[in-house]
Structure 1
Amino acid sequence: MKYFAVFLPIIDTEKSRIYRPQHLEFLENKRREGKIFANGRFTDGSGGLVIYKAESSDEVLELVRQDPYVAEGARGYEIHEWEMSPV
């Protein structure tokens, strides 16, 4: 299993407000499926970050495109494979 950090910068503030409930429901569903390691918003209001667990970047891209924020044009996305350092 690999980890992927997905930045979700705001494109449209109003759409972000409108689609927030659907986005949060989407994240909760993916968390229950074991697809999300962590997520949260940036305190400067610029967007948020989701760290997905997946087998490939193609799998993550498919998940990201299902997120209502992305599907409805509220947020952009940037995907990076992330290697967690041992503590």
Structure 2
Amino acid sequence: MKYFAVFLMMKDEELSRVHRPEHLEFLSCQREAGTVLMNGRFTDGAGGLIIYRAEDEASAVSLVNQDPYISLGARDFEIHEWDMESDYEF
């Protein structure tokens, strides 16, 4: 499995407010399915970040496009494959 960092950039604040419950339900279902590792919003109102687990970028994009924020036009997105390393020494 690969990891993908998806930035959800604010496109329409009103649509984001209206569709937030649907977006959060989608994320909850994806977390239960194991395709969302973590998610959260930016405190400056710019949007949010979701880390997806998927076989490849096409699969990740397919998931992103199912998010109500994307499918209903509230947000735009940018996706990057993320090489998650857990063996950092601090």
The verdict on a shared fold, with TM-score over 0.5 as the criterion, is: yes
Match of 2:65 in 1: 65
Match of 1:55 in 2: 55
Match of 2:4 in 1: 4
Q: Secondary structure at the match of 2:62?
A: helix
Q: How many residues align?
A: 87
Distance, in Å, in 1 between the alignment partners of 2:33 and 2:86 is: 25
Structure 1 position 86, deviation (Å): 2.5
Instruction: Name structure 1 gaps, 5 residues minimum.
Output: none
Distance, in Å, in 1 between the alignment partners of 2:51 and 2:65 is: 15
Q: Secondary structure at the match of 1:76?
A: strand
Please provide the CA RMSD for this pair. 0.6
Instruction: Name structure 2 gaps, 5 residues minimum.
Output: none
Structure 1 position 85, deviation (Å): 1.8
Q: Secondary structure at the match of 1:19?
A: helix
Deviation readout 1:6-31 (Å, 9 max, x if unpaired): 00000000000000000000000000
Structure 1 position 76, deviation (Å): 0.2
Q: Secondary structure at the match of 1:8?
A: strand
Distance, in Å, in 2 between the alignment partners of 1:18 and 1:2 is: 32
Deviation readout 1:30-57 (Å, 9 max, x if unpaired): 0000001110000111000000000010
Counterpart mapping for 1:1-87 below 5 A: 1-87=1-87
**Same amino acid, percent of matched pairs:** 57
Give the TM-score normalised by the residue count of structure 1: 0.98
